[in-house]
Amino acid sequence: MFEFEHGLEGAFEEEPHVRKDVAERLVEYVERGFMIPESIVKLIELLDDRDGEVRGYAAYALAKYATRGITDSNVPRKLVKLLGDENGIVRGYAAYALAKYADRELTEPKAIKKLVELLDDESGLTRGYAAYALAKYADKGLTEPKALEKLVELLDDEKSLTRGYAIIAIAVYAIRKYIDRNALEKLVRLLDDNDKEVCGLAALALAKYAERGLTSPEVMVKIKDLLGDKNEWVRKCAFTALKKYVKKK
């Protein structure tokens, strides 16, 4: 650990694969509870690195640092630039990092339009993280009504991660009083999704829609089935939705 820390300065000047490895190692340390706050300056510099993988891992490392409360107010602006990067991994991790910075009350309003555009990205990872970032921004009161239609489309996405993050964003938009009737039918269908996390999130989103007065008669039957699910978290989500529907009767 300490040898690695002392060698950081030189490592960042090495070849691209070394710089990427250093960024990866910093992520590993953060996840194990060890942080080197001084390295954030170098990580910010790496957001402009000529190598795409280096830029991507730098963004990911900065996201992990933000999770631990170590941030820099200049980072969101730089991350917005990376949302248009030629490398799909960079675009995805930049969106992910923007979400984590939003958790720390550091947002960049200019990000929203680009995040909406990324909901159509060729990379499933990028689509998912863009939806995740839009959810975090909406939670801070920064919304884009045009995003909702695209988020609803992502409920049919082939990637379960993307479907899950789209559901979260749709639920947060509902809290902000933006709802889409087309989402209701799809959310009901996702109660039968193969991914249990998606099932639970769909139930929670349906609860938020019920709060806005938008309900479906199919929900009660499906929710009751989920109350017997083997997954405890799914059962809790189903119970939350059931309570909202009972109140509407």
pTM: 0.89
Q: Is residue 195 part of a domain?
A: yes
The residue range of the domain holding 206 is 188-249
Q: Is residue 66 part of a domain?
A: no
pLDDT at 249: 56
**Residue 200: which CATH number?**
1.25.10
- Decide if pLDDT at 165 tops 60: yes
Q: Is residue 16 part of a domain?
A: no
What does the pLDDT look like over 112-157, one tens digit per residue?
A: 999 999 999 999 999 999 999 999 999 999 999 899 999 999 999 9
What does the pLDDT look like over 192-249, one tens digit per residue?
A: 999 999 999 999 999 999 999 999 889 888 998 999 999 999 999 999 999 888 876 5
Mean residue pLDDT of the chain comes to 90
Q: Is residue 56 part of a domain?
A: no
Q: How many domains is the chain partitioned into structurally?
A: 1
What does the pLDDT look like over 1-34, one tens digit per residue?
A: 434 444 455 555 667 777 778 777 877 877 787 7
3-state secondary structure the chain: CHHHHHCHHHHCCCCHHHHHHHHHHHHHHHHCCCCCHHHHHHHHHHCCCCCHHHHHHHHHHHHHHHHCCCCCCCHHHHHHHHCCCCCHHHHHHHHHHHHHHHHCCCCCCCHHHHHHHHHHCCCHHHHHHHHHHHHHHHHCCCCCHHHHHHHHHHHHCCCHHHHHHHHHHHHHHHHCCCCCHHHHHHHHHHHHCCCHHHHHHHHHHHHHHHHCCCCCHHHHHHHHHHCCCCCHHHHHHHHHHHHHHHHHC
Q: Is residue 249 part of a domain?
A: yes
Q: Is residue 149 part of a domain?
A: no
Q: Is residue 172 part of a domain?
A: no
Q: How confident is the model at residue 182 (pLDDT cuts 50, 70, 90)?
A: very high
Q: Is residue 85 part of a domain?
A: no
